[in-house]
Amino acid sequence: MSDTRPKLLIVEDDPGLQRQLRWAYEDYQLFIAGDRQEAIEILRAETPDVVTLDLGLPPDPDGTSEGFATLAEMLKIKPDTKIIVASGHGARESALDAISGGAYDFYQKPVDIDELGLIVRRAFHVHALERENARLAETAPEDSRVLGRIISGAPEMMKVARTIERVAGAQVSVLLLGASGTGKELLAQGLHDASPRRGGAFVAINCAAIPETLLESELFGHEKGAFTGAIKTTPGKIEQAQGGTLFLDEVGDIPLALQVKLLRFLQERVIERIGGRQPIAVDTRIVCATHQNLEQMIEGGAFREDLYYRLAEIVVRIPALKDRPGDPALLARHFLTRFARDMNPQVKGLAPDALAALDGWGWPGNVRELENRMKRAVIMADGKLITAADLDLDDERAEGGDLVNLKAAREMADRRAIRRAIARTDGNISGAAKMLGISRPTLYDLLKQYQMQG
């Protein structure tokens, strides 16, 4: 029977520490190497997802040159490996150099088994998220990848992507529900790309951004002379989407009078331009999105129920970023790579306090807010690592929002204090527990209780 446990490679030349780590990591398929050559051979043969690497390897056990050479060679062979670098030599400088060189995380010796175990579990978790995202992105043909546009490893977002891919080929109207900044237009574009209509145009219109007096003309077009200023005949967005997909963003903002005309088009698939008398047949698929509760709007008389059921043959609910575990860090690394290339090439990674802040922030503006904060941080960063200050995310603002009750307030305070302590001790759990005035087991219990272990 094959061993399905995750594979962990320990690169460590101290026999005593090798024995200690072998005993501590019984939950993994464990491989141990004492030097670079042995480590590379195991990496090629077993392809472990996570590696802990001591920088002080022979023939340079008192330095870091051999360790850094091993790090570079490993990442060249298997770039997606999560390598956790450990060293007692010039720890802070080594940490910066290791992360700049592609290491996933850094750990300062002497080894604390519990703390290192937490870092290892997080590394496996992140690797699993990235692998699932890549797998799903490759399940569809090259020209029909929904996940080629969406970066996520959260199960909630994977479910959304699978739904989009499943309905892409069906001739049904799709309604995307989600808060501002959650990626509704990106998903609509992905749906179009994955559909048989991908050879046609994808036409998007934000119904909330256009004055009510102009929206009808934008959607249905107008004939020359239909109104003052109509100096030529202009096709509307519906006509422009002939053979393709029409994306109506913020569809809840369409006024009632225009809702009637849109409903008539959905029923008959024929439009008339403003000022025109000639019916025009249009074959287009409608995809809508809104952050509003349309069912409540129907009850209040602000949205037509018959139109709703025409638009909402399939409803897809998009989770907010705060409800997508692990995604803030994944997205932050993506935006860092994208922006640093042109704006600030010296920026190589995220500091521990930045990762803590990303995890703790409530993201009221969702992915759009994260993208804007990362762009600003890359531009403003002075060093190789982006900090919480660069992101403009301080502890006092993390997890903002109204407090529902005393229990929620206490939990928020606990989370804030824990993140601050871990960030200020560079991820050292023992040091963080001491700063908080609690035992290390108590801190581990709190991390587990608040699901702060990644």
3 state SS of 225: coil
Mean pLDDT on 258-282: 93
pTM of the full structure: 0.61
**pLDDT at position 325:** 76
**Backbone phi, psi, residue 106, to 5°:** -130, 140
C-alpha to C-alpha distances, 34 to 40, 56, 109, 233, 444, nearest whole angstrom:
11, 10, 17, 77, 31
Query: Over 50: is that where the pLDDT of 227 sits?
Result: yes
Mean pLDDT on 322-345: 86
**pLDDT at position 90:** 58
Q: Which amino acid is at 351?
A: A
Mean pLDDT on 364-371: 93
**pLDDT at position 359:** 78
Q: Which of 188-202, 274-288, 326-340 has the lowest mean pLDDT?
A: 326-340
pLDDT greater at residue 425 or residue 386? 386
Mean pLDDT on 40-51: 94
Tens-place pLDDT, residues 2-23: 678 899 999 999 888 888 888 8
pLDDT greater at residue 179 or residue 417? 179
In contact, 66 and 98? CB cutoff 8 Å: no
pLDDT bin (cut points 50, 70, 90) of residue 426 is low
In contact, 31 and 48? CB cutoff 8 Å: yes
For helices 212-220 and 256-268, the axis angle rounded to 10 degrees is 10
pLDDT greater at residue 143 or residue 355? 355
In contact, 454 and 125? CB cutoff 8 Å: yes
**pLDDT at position 398:** 46
- pLDDT, averaged across the chain: 84
**pLDDT at position 135:** 57
**pLDDT at position 443:** 85
Tokens coding 62: 């008192």
385, β-bridge pairs: 349
Mean pLDDT on 223-241: 88
Q: Which of 127-141, 300-314, 337-351 has the lowest mean pLDDT?
A: 127-141
Mean pLDDT on 29-42: 94
Tens-place pLDDT, residues 134-181: 554 444 344 334 455 677 777 888 889 889 988 998 889 999 999 999
What domains lie within the chain, and their CATH numbers? 7-135 (3.40.50.2300), 145-319 (3.40.50.300)
Question: Where would I find the H helices in 25-80?
Answer: 36-46, 65-77
For helices 155-167 and 184-193, the axis angle rounded to 10 degrees is 40
Query: Over 70: is that where the pLDDT of 454 sits?
Result: no
